[in-house]
Amino acid sequence: MNTLNYKGYTAKIEFDPDDNILFGNIIGIQDTVGFHGESVSEVKNAFHEAVEFYLESCKKAGREPNKPFSGNFVVRVDSALHGQVAAAAAHAGKSLNKWVADTLTQVVEAHG
């Protein structure tokens, strides 16, 4: 996976073969925050520095930094799948939200 996480912020990392550098941008916020490095350790450090700079810049400007991801998202599925998911949640004794969150956690951890 080509992502890094720091202080709740997630960055997508890519490679630029023309300049031979790794670069990234924080995802899930409205502001644009980018960084780069020539190695994995450099890009990790640059990401941490970018988050710290972003947070400090917001503080100095007297504004709240964008929050990464609200924890809410809408997923549209066909009605048959919706019914199956609701039934699976009920069978597990969980709310639909809890069942989906637990299932997504299992999948992410298995592929993380």
- Quick: pLDDT tens for 17-41: 999 999 999 998 999 999 999 999 9
Query: pLDDT tens, 40-90?
Result: 999 999 999 999 999 999 999 999 999 887 788 889 999 999 999 999 999
CA distance 44 to 42: 5
